[in-house]
Structure 1
């Protein structure tokens, strides 16, 4: 058994954003040595890791040289150089999630084909080498409006996704590899985090419900437990486990799902890392998602995933019309409310819809937690000086 605690063992993390910062809360708790690489000098992780390296996550040489002296290498963002990860693994570095899992998930087209090949329920889709091919497909009757356009690579937080209701909606989109997905008529958007360790043991977190901002296509609220019946919850967890078993990933897998009007469960997309839909777990769960990620990748026993209390998470994003040095207006007001915990990510500059932090509201009563979350959302404003 490797001694991870107060030892020479070194964990490498690719990506220095807020997810990495919250992983570092846990490595600090356990005194595990960490090395982090990010492309920004202002990365939130910089202050909390043992060693910080400035480097391009998509550059082969930067990722390869970063990973050579770590024992286990993990990620907090999918967009990293997978060729370098494969070479590092060939040379004896443990890499979780595995490079082949990342390669499939990085590309939304190959991700969707993976679901089809593994009989995982997902919406119908067409794959295009270039966005410009879509217009022709519509005109020839191969594709029907409306549909969801998604860039195959580098989409995040509502970027690289657009609902196409008229041909004119295609104007201005990048001419890249993409998919056109059938627009799902859903009741709810749900998510399940599956944690799986190197021994193949897997456990799921409770199903959460996600409420989205209509314009920004970003999650506004994450509600745990989801306000759905037990049968639907069991089906959602079953489908999430099916996805996890197919990937055989090590680490966390956040599975985003649609609950259709007929209560079918369809997989939207996945993320092989800690995820926005699991932030509530820091205050509300027996084992938060960041500690669980460490347990998975280090081959430690998996923690209990049940919630102690109902939790609602509110994302703090930059207000429209504000760019520059950030100010969290009315933060004292929300701190005066019971069960309210803000998390500030450490990004000094705000811009419209940039994720700057989140607030968790816990309460024995879900209805009350949701009401307080609404008040928090209305009170706190992320603005610039």
Structure 2
């Protein structure tokens, strides 16, 4: 079987994940067509063809997909009905529409875990804030919108009855807060042939206010037993989904050493950005390998690495200016990835930095210094 680089790959979503996917696709000489509602999306300047369109609109997604050989996504919030029809008429769609339908709605996603024996926190579905009053046995808990939440949005911690008014008056779920020791992620890839490959466990540290990843540490220093169980749990999840592509499985490690799946993302993910420099095969190349049904790449760690999300500073909205970046570039093993976003706003993901070296402890200290050095203002 020979590799055909003349496959036109359509990517729904034109953000930074799509941008980094295109950067990997260039190495395979693939033609990439991207669609995004933002006329200045990060993919605009590097896609072979860019369409400014609504990825949630049935007709626009159909028209886009019919011009492509293979359709993939960089965000779940797309028109799934159109993808189902594209699949029916013979277009390849990976991840498959049934996977997106399961994961897009956090309520359906949680039910999927329960139905497939995948450990997750206790939860109940809600339709309004008032529903939480009858579910106080789940407090302290987390109230999550079933759809449209991302990057910390659509998530509200409800510590006690006094916080119930902070919840959402939309379809959501309330889940019991997990008494965890660490938050980890395992990225797993699966191709059409059913071959799988997992990346080594990474540990995540979240911003206390924005509720999105601030630092990522690789490799984890958890016991081999826990890491092996996490890897197997990720494989179990992608197999139960019968998914082709890349799946990021975010988990909690409880204080008793148990694993609890928090959420999954059926695409490349923030918890895999370090793999560009830190692993033999980047998550973006691996995603392409998986959906093209090519042999999956080795995922071994090349060196210890720390990823730092570069977020817009609080109090600044406008054309982005990067303070301290020139100073940071003097550091050996530091790699910068800016996402092509001209405008900054508080906590907007503007880029990331990866530090690679031999001593993870030293890299962690250095990363915190770098975080304080680089400020994105307007």
Using the size of structure 2 for normalisation, the TM-score is 0.98
* Cα distance in 2 for residues equivalent to 1:112 and 1:276: 21
How far the C-alpha of 1:166 sits from its partner, in A, is 2.7
Give the CA RMSD over aligned residues: 1.1
**Distance in 2 (alpha carbons) for counterparts of 1:172 and 1:186:** 23
Which of 296, 299, 303 is residue 305 of structure 1 equivalent to?
299
* Counterpart position of 1:232: 226
Could you tell me which of 46, 65, 68 is aligned with 1:67?
65
Deviation digits for residues 114-139 of structure 1 (CA, Å, limit 9, x no counterpart) = 0000011111111123333222443x
1:283 aligned onto 2:277? yes
The total of aligned residue pairs comes to 378
Number of the residue aligned with 1:180: 174
Distance 2:190 2:54 in 1: 28
Shift of 1:169: 2.2
State the partner residue of 1:196: 190
Conserved 8 A contact 2:183-2:251? yes
Q: Within 2, Cα distance between the matches of 1:58 and 1:170?
A: 31
Kindly indicate whether the alpha-carbon contact (under 8 Å) linking 2:311 and 2:351 is maintained by their aligned counterparts in 1: yes
- How far is 1:144 from its partner? 3.7
Equivalent of residue 369 in structure 1, options 338, 363, 371 = 363
Q: Does residue 19 in structure 1 map to residue 13 in structure 2?
A: no
Q: Distance in 1 between matches of 2:283 and 2:311?
A: 21
- CA distance in 2 between partners of 1:170 and 1:31 (Å): 52
Q: Does 1:246 align with 2:244?
A: no
After alignment, is 368-377 or 151-160 more displaced? 368-377
How many Å separate the matches in 1 of 2:203 and 2:128?
33
Distance 1:275 1:189 in 2: 15
- In 2, Cα distance between equivalents of 1:131 and 1:275: 30
CA contact under 8 A between 2:143 and 2:167: conserved in structure 1? no
After superposition, the C-alpha distances for 1:24-69 in whole angstroms (9 at most, x for unaligned) are 0011112101110000011000111111111111111111111001
Aligned residue for 2:285, secondary structure, equals: helix
Residue 48 of structure 2 is matched in structure 1 by 50
| 1:292 match | 286
Structure 1 unpaired stretches of 5+ = none
Query: 1:2: Cα distance to partner?
Result: 6.3
Confirm or deny: 8 A CA contact 1:131 1:177 kept in the other structure: no
TM-score w.r.t. structure 1 length?
0.96
8 A contact 1:316–1:355 mirrored in 2: yes
Q: How does 1:126-145 map to 2 (within 5 A)?
A: 126-138=124-136, 143-145=137-139
Gaps of 5+ in 2: none
What's the CA shift for 1:367?
Answer: 1.2
Q: CA deviation at 1:168?
A: 3.6
Q: Residue 97 of structure 1 corresponds to which residue in structure 2?
A: 95
Give the alignment partner of residue 263 of structure 1, picking from 240, 257, 262.
257
Counterparts of 1:30 and 1:196, CA distance in 2: 19
- Correspondences of 1:98-117 after superposition (within 5 Å): 98-117=96-115
Shift of 1:3: 4.3
Q: Describe the SS at the equivalent of 1:342.
A: strand
C-alpha spacing 1:83/1:380, structure 2 compared with 1 (3 Å): same
